Amino acid sequence: MVTIFYDSMLALSLVLSIFYLYMWHKHFDVLLTLFFVLVPVTNLGFSLFSRAQSLQEALMAQKIAYIGGTFLLLFIMFMVFSLCHIKVSRLLRVIFMLISTCMYSLVLTIGYSDIFYKSETSFDIVKGVVKLNKSYGFMHSIYIGVVIVYFVLSFFAILHSYLKKNHVSRNMIYLLFLSETTAIVSYFAGKYIIDGVELLPAAYVFGQVIYLIIVYKISIYNVTDTAIDSIIETGDTGFVSIDFKKKYLGSNRTARKVFPFLNALTVDKTITKSDGMKDTFGKWLDDFNKDENNNKLYYELNDKIYLVNITYLFDGRKNRGYQFIINDDTKNQQYIKLIDSFNDELRTEVYDKTNHIIEMHDRLIVSMATMVESRDNSTGGHIKRTSQGVKILTNEMKKAHYAKLNDDFYDRIIKAAPMHDLGKITVDDAILRKPGKYTAEEFNIMKTHAAAGAKIVHEILEGTDDLEFHVIAENVAHYHHERWDGSGYPSGLKADEIPIEARIMAIADVYDALVSKRVYKEKMSFEEANKIILEGMGTQFDKMLEPFYMRARPKLEEYYSSIEC
């Protein structure tokens, strides 16, 4: 009967291991596989023991059966920690494995040394039941201590997960507890329940049943693995693998449907041997190796647009090559194109409306400046002429890339030029239109137009989106009468304290005043005006602007010769 019991347990363990093989998935922990391999081996030891006809046969069978007490219990402990999501460092795993290996090496000394079983161990067969009359050596006690440690640590992990880890399935915790309780009872009390019969084989078989249930639940609870399987099985995502030597490792059906040339490609063949692979995956790999940011691209085929993602191919922690993940992105790209088209139309409409508003704003400012100018004693046209003078002068500066000023700056100062004398609206007509020279008091009043103009410009442009234009226009109005030597007004700024836009405006403003007719003077010749401008370089004007003025002079004279001023 004992032999039948052990044989039955061996047969059951083999059937359950085969069933596990049927359920096996590459994502299962290797410890599970080792457990289902070692249980039949351990039960084989018990079966052989029941058939032993000599002491040597019995001892050999015992050595096989002890595999369960050493390595099986260790693997069970590791599985408990893994299923309870408790991380065990690699160093601790190695230490525990070395301990079990040392314990089993002591088991192998049975029959040759007294450290595990003493030499007086004898062999009997009583009523068909094999009995081993053994005396234990001192290392056997240590062995039992190690076994107890494995059980205690496993129970601790189960209890900790039950109390602290809500993301561990309660059902799985109950199953682990049941398996561990059965094992410890069978290990320490089984032989006393039925005389001469070890219940451990039954406990191991029961453990197999428990772990098969756990295996089934792992397939459900392991979100990462099920997600990966679902992606592959649905057929929506293609995968192509290539190693670092550019050898083709394989692909799934979806990838081969998108890239038919994969059907003719042999695994382990270099992709450069295939024109289709060389022109697609080979080129993409070259771009990716040059810059890993080139890890996304689009591939169009038969009105379909595929998104190809390139990543490294990992086998555990080892980087083995490259993985291409292919998804049909047609609908998304069509939607993006539709949105882009709508955005382009919207941008164009907004741009047109904005430009219309800006043009109206600019015309309003010019009209205001013209109105102010009509009160002045000039012959008119000063605004237009100075704006053109600024444009001619800045064109020369732009060609030379002066001070790295950008095109936007030059456009803004030309646009701001008509606003430079807006402050004159605050000056009394009697002074503004006086035909002769100003008295000192009148001149002081006249000088207030610069600061007043800055305030007016500030109010007009308050809240504008173009803050840089706001600053430039305000500076032009405020500081175009400042002098390089600091003797100008209204703030007495000197040299680089004067904003560059005001320094440019000063030259255009003075040049126009010199070559234009006023009620109180005739216009000067270009030679006389040029002489005054050059004499003022370094005192009234910025000396650094002299080369640009000299290059602009022919165009200035050409412009002023073409108009009546």
Q: Indicate if the pLDDT at residue 230 is higher than 60.
A: no
CB 307 within 8 A of CB 334: no
How far is 181 from 125, CA to CA, in rounded Å?
32
Torsions phi, psi for 236 (to 5 deg): -85, -20
Three-class secondary structure of residue 538 per DSSP:
coil
Q: Identify the CA nearest to 6 among candidates 69, 49, 64, 39.
A: 49
Neighbouring residues of 164: CB distance < 8 A, sequence distance ≥ 6: none
Per the CB < 8 A criterion, the answer to whether 151 and 188 are in contact is no
Alpha carbons 344 and 350: distance in angstroms, whole number: 10
Say which residue, 412 or 25, is predicted with more confidence.
Answer: 412
**Closest listed residue to residue 214, CA positions, set 261, 268, 178, 247:** 178
> Which of 455, 370, 377, 378 has the alpha carbon at shortest distance from 418?
370
The pLDDT of 352-380, averaged and rounded, is 62
Cα atoms in the 13 Å half-sphere on the side-chain side of 8: 10
Task: Say what the pLDDT of residue 221 is.
Answer: 46
What is the mean pLDDT of the segment spanning 382-387?
88
Q: How confident is the model at residue 437 (pLDDT cuts 50, 70, 90)?
A: confident
Strand partners, 237: 327
pLDDT digits (tens, 9 = 90+) for 96-118: 999 989 988 988 888 888 888 87
User: Where do runs of H (alpha helix) occur along 461-544?
Assistant: 467-479, 500-515, 526-536
Q: State yes or no: pLDDT of 424 exceeds 90.
A: no
The pLDDT, as a whole number, for residue 327 is: 86
Hey, what are 123's tokens?
Answer: 């062999």
Task: Centre a 10 Å sphere on the Cβ of residue 59 and count the other Cβ atoms it contains.
Answer: 19
* Mean pLDDT value across residues 422-426: 87
- The pair of structure tokens assigned to 498 is 């004067």
Q: What is the pLDDT of residue 553?
A: 96
Question: Quick check: 229 pLDDT over 60?
Answer: no
- pLDDT of residue 371 exceeding 70: no
How far is 432 from 360, CA to CA, in rounded Å? 28
When pLDDT is averaged across residues 407-428 and rounded to a whole number, the result is: 90
Q: How many CA atoms lie within 13 A of 542 on its CB side?
A: 24
- Record the tokens describing residue 535, joined without a space: 């004499």
CATH of domain 348-561: 1.10.3210.10
Mean pLDDT estimate for the chain: 83
pLDDT digits (tens, 9 = 90+) for 177-201: 888 888 777 777 655 556 667 788 8
Least confident interval from 76-90, 144-158, 163-177, 181-195 = 181-195
CB of 65 closer than 8 Å to CB of 52: no
- What 63-68 contacts at long range (C-beta under 8 Å, 24+ apart), as own/partner pairs, is 63/107, 63/108, 63/110, 65/198, 65/200, 66/104, 66/107, 67/38, 67/41, 67/42, 67/104, 68/38, 68/39, 68/42, 68/200, 68/204
Q: Which of 185-199, 215-229, 289-303, 382-396 has the highest mean pLDDT?
A: 382-396
Higher-confidence residue: 500 or 433?
Answer: 500
- Annotated domain spans of the chain: 2-226, 235-328, 348-561
- Judged by average pLDDT, the poorest of 206-215, 347-356, 395-404 is 347-356
User: Under DSSP, is residue 456 helix (H, G, I), strand (E, B) or coil?
Assistant: helix
CA distance 44 to 6: 8
Span 2-226 CATH architecture:
Up-down Bundle (1.20)
pLDDT tops 50 at residue 223: no
For residue 496, what are the contacts with CB-CB under 8 A and spacing of at least 6?
none
CA distance 110 to 227: 50
pLDDT over 70, % of the chain: 86
Highest average pLDDT, of 14-28, 211-225, 263-277, 531-545, comes from 531-545
Residue 492 φ/ψ, nearest 5 degrees:
65, 30
**Six token digits for residue 242:** 């290539």
pLDDT in tens, 264-302: 888 778 888 888 888 889 899 999 999 988 888 888 888
Average pLDDT in the 204-229 region? 68
Write out the two tokens for 119.
């030499």
What is the H or E stretch that residue 242 is in?
A: strand 237-243
Q: How confident is the model at residue 413 (pLDDT cuts 50, 70, 90)?
A: very high
Whether 235-328 shares its CATH topology with 348-561 is answered no
CATH class for domain 235-328? Answer: alpha beta
pLDDT digits 0-9 by tens, 507-536? 999 999 999 887 667 889 999 999 999 999
pLDDT value for 379: 44
- The H-or-E segment that residue 311 falls in is strand 304-315
Q: What integer is the mean pLDDT of 420-449?
A: 86
